[in-house]
Amino acid sequence: MSKPVAIVTRKWPESCEERLKELFDVTLNANDKPFTEEQLKTAMQNCDVLMPTVTDKINANVLSVENRRVNMIGNFGVGFNHIDIEVAKKNGITVSNTPAVLTDCTADIGMSLLLMVARRVGEGERELRANKWTGWRPTHLLGTKVTGKTLGIIGFGRIGQALAKRAKFGFDMKIVFWDPFDISVDVVNKFEATKLDTIEDVCKEGDFISVNCPATKETFHLIDEKKLKLMKNTAFLINTARGDIIDETALVQALKNKTIAGVGLDVFETEPNLPEELKTLENVVSFPHLGSASIETRIAMGNTAIENSLAFFEKRDLPNKVV
Rounded CA separation 303/323 (Å): 19
**Is the separation of the CB atoms in 300 and 111 below 8 Å?**
no
- Candidate list 10, 166, 289, 298, residue with the active-site label: 289
Question: How much is the average pLDDT of 112-128?
Answer: 98
Rounded CA separation 235/159 (Å): 21
**Is the separation of the CB atoms in 58 and 85 below 8 Å?**
no
Q: Where are the domains of the chain?
A: 5-100+295-313, 103-286
Is 140 noted as a catalytic residue in this protein? no
pLDDT at 299: 98
- Candidate list 10, 242, 269, 298, residue with the active-site label: 242
Q: How far is CA 308 from the centre of its chain?
A: 20
What does the mean pLDDT of the chain come to? 97
Residue type, 318: L
Quick check: 315 pLDDT over 80? yes
Quickly state the pLDDT bin for 23 (edges 50, 70, 90).
very high
Quick check: 1 pLDDT over 80? no
Quickly state the pLDDT bin for 300 (edges 50, 70, 90).
very high
pLDDT at 290: 98
Rounded CA separation 135/118 (Å): 21
pLDDT at 146: 98
> What is the maximum span of the chain, computed from C-alpha positions, in angstroms?
72
**Is the separation of the CB atoms in 132 and 157 below 8 Å?**
no
Long-range CB pairs of 220-228, under 8 A, 24+ apart, other chains included: 220/244, 220/245, 221/245, 221/246, 221/247, 221/250, 222/154, 222/246, 223/154, 223/247, 223/250, 223/251, 224/250, 225/250, 225/253, 225/254, 227/199, 227/200, 227/203, 228/203, 228/254, 228/259, 228/260
Summarize pLDDT for 129-182 with one digit per residue, the tens: 999 999 999 999 999 999 999 999 999 999 999 999 999 999 999 999 999 999
Q: What would be the CATH architecture of the domain defined by 5-100+295-313?
A: 3-Layer(aba) Sandwich (3.40)
**Which spans in 101-211 are helix H?**
103-119, 121-129, 158-171, 185-190, 199-205
Q: Cα Rg for the chain, rounded, in angstroms?
A: 21
Rounded CA separation 292/164 (Å): 18
Quick check: 21 pLDDT over 80? yes
Q: What is the pTM of this model?
A: 0.95
End-to-end C-alpha distance for the chain, whole angstroms: 27
Is 271 noted as a catalytic residue in this protein? yes
Tell me the three state secondary structure of residue 175. Answer: strand
Q: What would be the CATH architecture of the domain defined by 103-286?
A: 3-Layer(aba) Sandwich (3.40)
Tell me the three state secondary structure of residue 58. Answer: strand
Neighbour tally for 121: CB within 10 Å: 16
Quickly state the pLDDT bin for 284 (edges 50, 70, 90).
very high
pLDDT at 236: 99
Percentage of the chain exceeding pLDDT 90: 99
Summarize pLDDT for 186-222 with one digit per residue, the tens: 999 999 999 999 999 999 999 999 999 998 889 999 9
Summarize pLDDT for 39-48 with one digit per residue, the tens: 999 999 999 9
Summarize pLDDT for 36-79 with one digit per residue, the tens: 999 999 999 999 999 999 999 999 999 999 999 999 999 999 99
| Cβ contacts of 207 within 8 Å, gap of 6 or more | 144, 149, 150, 151, 232, 234, 235, 236
Is 242 noted as a catalytic residue in this protein? yes
Rounded CA separation 305/65 (Å): 23
Q: Which of 108, 237, 216 is nearest to 166 (CA)?
A: 108
Question: How much is the average pLDDT of 311-316?
Answer: 98
| Cβ contacts of 45 within 8 Å, gap of 6 or more | 65, 66, 67, 68, 69, 70
Rounded CA separation 309/314 (Å): 9
Asked if 5-100+295-313 and 103-286 have one fold, the answer is yes
